[in-house]
Amino acid sequence: MNRRAFLMAASAAPLFGRARMKPIERMNLALKGGTPDRAPFSFWHHFGLEKKPPEFHAKKTLHFQLIYRMDLVKVMSDFPYPKSVGANWWELKTVDNPFPAQIEALKLISKGVQGQKYFVETIFNPFNVAEKLSSPAEVKRLMNEHPQQLLDALEAIAKSQAAHAKLALDTGAKGIFLAIANAQESVMTREQYDKFSAPFDRMILAAAAGAPLNTLHLHGKGVWLDRFWTGWGNPIINYSTVETGIPLVEARRQYSGVLMGGLDETKARTARLADYQKMIKAARAAGPKWFCTPGCSVPDNTSDAKLFLITRAAAAGT
């Protein structure tokens, strides 16, 4: 911890000193629909350590959650999916442990939180992985010209990620944070999503069935939120209220499960304390089954001082 971060953490200590509940107690009560002393909160961003050993990833994650006193540790997952050994990117085989470095990091994170906080593992859905292995344009071409080749590749990815989800839970993770960025018209039609994505997204979610913190991160301005209100096993739903223009209070009318969001991630670098207080006040209408978080990762270059404003506002519960 640098000196500036230490001083900011110390300045937030009185707020947490008034807290009546521990992070896990707060999380459990919110999950059940009870009323905790305040809403559980968290936020996250990409650390850009995919080329570093897992120890670096674990250390940064543990430091980040400790300094900002989060209730929930949302572990980022930036290690790349293994590439094909064949001539073409889509010639993929199922891998029993596709992210060994991430699993080692999760083991260290589990040891580091010492059972005092829950953590969840981020998984980017198979369609996104396919785009990273090639490109969005290439995936779209394959979808139109050789759909079975794409379906076979997506199935191999999904089976591998399902295996990873189970390994993540074995390390102590309490759920997966499944990021879905292609459920919107700017990427594909609803019919294409039902064929090329939904079965594989469900496969991964099913592999983590029973975990209390399974979360769907529905990414994008035009995401079909209504596509996920039912039929997905009642996961936690996280989406960007600012990107979609749909406030949590409106989502609550459609969804009885836990909602995660309410903070404007796009303003993290410029927001004032009063701005976050206003956001939290509006988002509280989604409670008590509500976790106070951004709708997506905050910008990676957001300053410590600005990030501490989230901690101060969330800790005060205002």
Report pLDDT for 8.
Answer: 55
Question: Is the predicted pLDDT of residue 318 greater than 90, yes or no?
Answer: no
Q: What percent of the chain has pLDDT over 70?
A: 94
Q: Residue 102 is part of which domain span?
A: 3-316
pLDDT band (50, 70, 90) for residue 133: very high
Q: What is the mean pLDDT of the chain?
A: 94
Mean pLDDT for 265-281 is 96
Our count of domains for the chain comes to 1
pLDDT band (50, 70, 90) for residue 14: low
Q: Give the single-character DSSP code of 296.
A: S
* CB burial readout 241-267, b (16+ within 10 A) else e: bbbbebbbbebbeebebbbbbbbbbbb
Joined together, the tokens standing for residue 105 give 């990091």
Residue type at position 256 = S
Tell me the per-residue pLDDT of 43-99, one tens digit each, with 9 for 90 and over: 999 999 999 999 999 999 999 999 999 999 999 998 999 999 889 999 999 999 999
Helix intervals (H) in 172-247: 190-196, 198-207, 241-244
Question: Is the predicted pLDDT of residue 300 greater than 90, yes or no?
Answer: yes
pLDDT band (50, 70, 90) for residue 287: confident
Element (H, E) at 271: none
Question: Is the predicted pLDDT of residue 11 greater than 80, yes or no?
Answer: no
Report pLDDT for 20.
Answer: 82
Counting Cα atoms < 13 Å in the Cβ hemisphere of 91 gives 5
DSSP-assigned beta bridge partners for residue 239 = 218
Report pLDDT for 85.
Answer: 86
Q: What percent of the chain has pLDDT over 90?
A: 90
Report pLDDT for 37.
Answer: 95
Report pLDDT for 2.
Answer: 53
Question: Is the predicted pLDDT of residue 152 greater than 60, yes or no?
Answer: yes
CATH classification at residue 140: 3.20.20.210
